[in-house]
Structures are given as C-alpha cells and as structure tokens.
Copies of this chain bind each other. A is one copy, B any other.
Amino acid sequence: MTASIEKRPNEPQRVIIETVSPTVDDGRFPAKAIDGETIRVRADIFADGHDHLSALVLHRAPGEKTWSEIPMRPLTNDRWEAAVGIKGLGPHVFTLAAWADHFKTWRADLRKRLDAGQDITVDLQIGADLLRQAASRAGKKDAAALRSWASKLKTGKSGFTREQADLALSEEINEVMTRCPERANETRGPREYQIWAEPELARFGAWYELFPRSLGEKGRHGTFRDVEAHLPRVADMGFDVLYLPPIHPVGQAFRKGANNSTTAKPGEPGSPWGIGGKEGGHTAVHPELGTLEDFRRLVKKARRDHKIEIALDIAFQCSPDHPWVREHPDWFIHRPDGSIQYAENPPKKYQDIYPLNFESKEWKSLWRELRDVFLYWIKQGVTVFRVDNPHTKALPFWEWAIGEIKAKHPEIIFLSEAFTRPRILHYLAKAGFTQSYNYFPWRNTKEELTEFMEGLAKEPVRHYLRPNLWPNTPDILPQYLQYGGRPAFMIRGLLAATLGASYGIYGPAFELCVNDPREPGSEEYLYSEKYEIKDWNLDAPGNLTDFIKRLNRIRKENPALRTNDTLAFHPTDNREILAYSKRTDDGSNVLLMVVNLDPHHTQSGWVDIDFNRLGVNVADTYQVHELLSGARYLWQGSRNYVELDPSFSPAHVFRLRSRVRKENDFDYFM
C-alpha cells in the first residue's frame, strides 16, 4: 500500500493532504461547476508536530498547460480553503501542494520568545540563514534585499537589538519570503481532480415542454412554423428552454391510438416516442412537422429573438419500422421464432417498441451511432438534450458518449429522465448528465420536501447532481395535482420555481390546470397528449399564465434563485407551512419563501427565521417585500406570523430588505 523507502524522493515529505472538496468518489468522476463562478476548494492539510504549514491549490483551466497557484488559508480543525475562479467551459483540473514552512514557524516562534522576554540572539542567526537560503531561490531584486536583511540580523557579542527584532518580524521580509518559499519537501496531490465547467443554463433555467403537433389550428397537425409563431408566448412567460418531444418520423407498426389504445385508428398520429418509419429514424424529421430546414430556422430564431434554447428529446428505442431494424439487425435481440424481441416488463408487452441490445456483439458500432445522433443534432444548432429513459441503456455508454461529446462541445446540456432507483439516478448524474429529473413530483409534505432537498444539498451529491424540478410531465400527473385543484398547481409551480434553480412544466396542460387521470390511481393523463393532437384553449378562465410569468420574472430579478447551494429551511409551527430561504453569496439578495402546502384550507402560523441558516444577520426590524403581490411588511426578530389562503395566493415570496449586520456593525442595505 505504501512506497518502499528506495522508491521515495530524496526530500522527505511530512505533510498529509486528504478529504478534498469538491470531488466525486475520490476523483473517479468530475465535479460540476458553472463557467464564471468562484468555487471553494477545501482539504484537510496537516503534518506532525507544531510546524506552520503553507498550502496552494494548483489549477489548470481548459487549454492551459501550466498550473496557476492559489494560496489556501486555514479554517478550523486543519481544514484549508481557497477560492478558485472557474473561467472557461470544459474540464478544469486541480490538485494541491503543501509544505512545512520553516520561515513561518520561525517567525511565529520568534514573536512568542520576544513576548516571553527570551534571548533571541541565536534565533536571529537561524533566521538570517533562512533568508540567505531563500535568496538562492528568489528573483534578483528579492535576493539582494534578502541578503542585505540577513546581514543586518547578524548579532554581536552584546546580543540582539530591538531594531533587529523588529526587522526580523517585519511585514516587508514576510512578504518577500512568502514569494520564495522552500518547497523541496512539499506534498502534492493526493491526485488530480477534474471540475467540469458548464454554461449557467446548466444550473439555472426555466423549461417549458410542449407538443408541436398540438399547435396547429383546429386539429391540423402542428408544425415547426407553428412553434415559431408560439415562441413569443413562451418567451413572454419567461422560459429559457423550450423542450420538444421526439421530432422524428413516427412508426406505423403497432402504433398506439388515443388513450394508449393498442391499435390506432386510421389517421391517429401515434406517440412521438414510437420512433422511426420509412422516412427515417433518429436523424430524420417527422414530415408532418416540416423540414429539417424549418427546424434549424426554429432553433436559430428562438435563440436570436427570444433567448430560448430548443431542447430535443432523444429516446433510444425503435419502432419496428425504424431503418436500424433492417440495417443493423445485430443491434436487436432475435428470438428463436425469428421475431425481434420487443420491449417487455412481464407480463406487460410493448410491441410498438424494440429496445436496443447493449450486449450485442456489435455494441461498439451501436455506441458510435448513438453518439453520432447527438452530434448530428448539435450540427443543426441544438445545445440542449433531454434524454428519455437513460436508465434502460448501458450506464457505461453514457459516460463514454457524454465524455466524447463534451470534449468537443463543452456547452451541451443533457437532462437525464432517470425516474428510477436512487443509485441509478445518481450514477447517471456522476457519469456526465448535466441535470436530472428526480423524485420531486412525489415529494409533497413538509417533511418530504425538506428531506429531499437536504439530501441533494449534501456533499458530494451537490457536486454532481443538479435537480430539475417538474411538477408534471406528459407521463406524470401526480395525485396532488389531481385532487388539489388550481391552488395545487400554484403551490407545486411555486415550489418547483423557487426550490429549484432549474425547473420545468409540461404545458399548456400545466397552466390550464388539466388534472383528469386516465383512471383513479393512475398518474397518466386522461386522453393524454402523448397519443393525440390537442386543441388547447390558452385563454381558458383560471389559467395560470400570469402567475407563471410572475414566478419567472421573480427568478430572473433575484439572483438568490440561481443556485440551490444556499437553500435553507426554517422552522414553522404549522406542518402545512413550509419556509425556506435562498441568498446570494454576498448577502445582497435574500429571499424567504413561505408556502401553504394545503391546497384546500387557509393555514396560518409562526415562522421562525434561523438567521444562521439564512446567512445574514438583519437589523431588529426589517422590511419583507412580498414579490408576488408587491406588498411590504415590517417584521421584527426571528418569529413572525403568516396566514395563507390557497384560493387567493398560497405562498409568499419575501425579499428581505434591511440594513445588514456585518461583523459588529450595520454596513449596507439589501
């Protein structure tokens, strides 16, 4: 386990570096960061004895060949920290260096000896020796200064002088010595760690999912041109990403009919996830949506005119009509009766879908082809992918494919639809997915929400898994929405938009509060849009368009909501009232959300703000500015009263405005 004495360097290393953060599984996977942010690198750094230590973070941004050195400072209990600026998309690398710093030790000891009135004659000579040794490592100017100081520290028969003591402890010498430390016996490592820097949209974004084919007028199959026409509404609501279900040709064989019927009637459009027909597969466009050129135009226009990214849904599964079935039979499982194995979860059968066989002898050509599907759409301008059921494809494939793609295109965002078991959901995030769907749709109570979000905030989870919170999807109409009416949609929308720096809704079903399940107990929509074209009345009374617009505006105007890192929950005395805060690092933007989780009844109670968790210490009396209504209240101390009528507005989003207590003084106004 440990190197033999012969294999060690000639200079003995004494410093230990351990428990480095941010890291994921001891460097097996990269940690995630946002281009432009400042991260805190931390490690336990210590050595035997009482020597003072010095430590550095060595950091290399993408494309750089040499290390930048960032000095670390000690916190408590041998933990050290440095703030490292992350600039540039892609893989950053860092490691650490630390050594016993004899000059630092000597200087600190000298002060103690002087304070105790001891004779420091010999100590000054030791110091002079340290300065002379440093001179041999220093630049020309520093070297001259060091040699001159060293000679000034030379003591005579009569011992040392006060001037010599002052010089020895001078800040001047200390500064020069800090520039040319003796690092011969420094410890490096323990290894090099990767940090993947991604664009801010990787962390902060509001997503809107819609079915293009429902945008046609009066039942006509909608097209990319219809989506283009719809962009202003999506932009006006404040969304950053417009996510489209698969846009590929829909298969005919075993096509699904309305309400998931196993046989489609003539003219029924089928499910967009039944991918592949005579018109092509994963790199083709469904003819009824328009042309590839239309699609490229949509992508360009959305970005240029509305700052919206178009997200594509990549679902690696094939209709029996998919070209791969003929061209690459080896990618599928063949049964003894000559048929191809369709998807199953016995006793359930899904004859409209052939899964790909990741244990195929031809797995290498399969992996390459699947990677190339992404590269194809990247070439068409797409930068955001939502990946369907990644947990039913070989997990090592994802690490390889995302790695290959991000090496050339570090700006690409992959959202993992891993509604599966926790270990697999987490592994996909480690393996490279930028963001992850998660269990938010089924976390409803105060206890559930708190435990869920706090679980995501733990180390190392926070370093690899970015949750994207969806109150609904075309596959998931949670019971809470089925029974809670319009207030339930408001509550879940607000929770998603303020608990999660990234969130999304499946619309217009969401803003129209569509809540009929296929049957009681089911989470499928009745007459789901997955199997038929809808004609939505976007102006239906009671719609939440304005509410969502307000939520997204609050998100954009309050930088506190751009991260989950500062999320903190606060006690309330009512189990239906959830209180939580977010803030910016500098404390200049602090929000407190207070949500009535009960969509049926007015709830009231006392909120106990935990100022430690809040991260700022406000004045005794402070203003809370309610950003949904615009109302302002004066609050006092930590305990304040709220009353929330869900039929009116089930939540408060307070911005705290106050002179802020910093150290022992109030020094600015939020």
Contact = CB atoms under 8 A, between A and B. Distances in A.
Contacts of A185: 359
Interface string A1-27: 111110010001110101000000110
A2, A113, A335: most-surrounded residue (chain B CB, <10 A)? A2
Nearest to A26: B26
Interface in A308-340: 335-337, 339
A251 to B, nearest CB: 21
A129 interface: yes
Nearest to A361: B10
Interface stretch (A42-50, A547-555, A585-593): A42-50
B48 A115 contact: no
B424 A2 contact: no
Interface in A330-354: 335-337, 339, 344-347
B12 A358 contact: yes
A1 B29 contact: yes
A396 B13 contact: yes
Interface in A464-519: none
A399 B2 contact: yes
Given A48-B392, A112-B346, A185-B359, A364 B423 contact: no
A5 B368 CA distance: 9
Contacts of A16: 395-396, 427
Given A48-B395, A109-B346, A346-B112, A30 B14 contact: no
Contacts of A367: 5
A115 B346 CA distance: 10
A393 interface: yes
Interface stretch (A118-126, A288-296, A408-416): A118-126
A2 B196 CA distance: 14
Nearest to A357: B12
Interface string A72-84: 0000011000000
B1 A403 contact: yes
Contacts of A125: 335-337
Nearest to A45: B423
A411 to B, nearest CB: 19
B5 A422 contact: no
B347 A423 contact: no
A77 B421 CA distance: 7
A346 B109 CA distance: 6
A16 B429 CA distance: 14
A391 interface: yes
A14 B194 contact: no
Contact of A336 (B28, B47, B129): B129
A394 interface: yes
A47 B403 CA distance: 19
Contacts of A669: none
A395 B122 contact: no
Interface in A369-395: 391-395
A77 B423 contact: yes
B395 A345 contact: no
A44 to B, nearest CB: 5
Contact of A427 (B18, B28, B399): B18
A116 interface: yes
A100 interface: yes
Given A122-B336, A336-B126, A49 B391 contact: yes
A442 interface: no
Given A359-B14, A400-B5, A424-B78, A49 B335 contact: no
B396 A14 contact: yes
A456 B122 CA distance: 45
A419 interface: no
A61 B444 CA distance: 50
A160 interface: no
B116 A394 contact: no
Nearest to A110: B346
Contact of A359 (B12, B30, B44): B12
B359 A394 contact: no
Given A46-B421, A112-B347, A126 B427 contact: no
Nearest to A345: B50
Contacts of A396: 2, 12-14, 16
A420 to B, nearest CB: 9
A363 interface: yes
B391 A48 contact: yes
Nearest to A344: B109
Contacts of A394: 12-14, 47-48
Contacts of A126: 335-336
B30 A25 contact: no
Interface in A41-70: 44, 46-50
A116 B346 contact: yes
Contacts of A13: 394, 396
Contacts of A4: 400
A271 to B, nearest CB: 20
A337 B337 CA distance: 95
A14, A109, A113, A116: most-surrounded residue (chain B CB, <10 A)? A14
Nearest to A184: B359
Interface in A185-213: 185, 190, 194
Contacts of A129: 336
Given A47-B394, A48-B358, A115-B347, 7 more contacts: A12-B359, A46-B423, A78-B423, A109-B344, A112-B347, A113-B347, A122-B336
Nearest 10 CB-CB pairs, A to B?
A116-B347, A125-B336, A112-B346, A109-B346, A26-B26, A12-B363, A78-B423, A14-B394, A2-B399, A49-B392
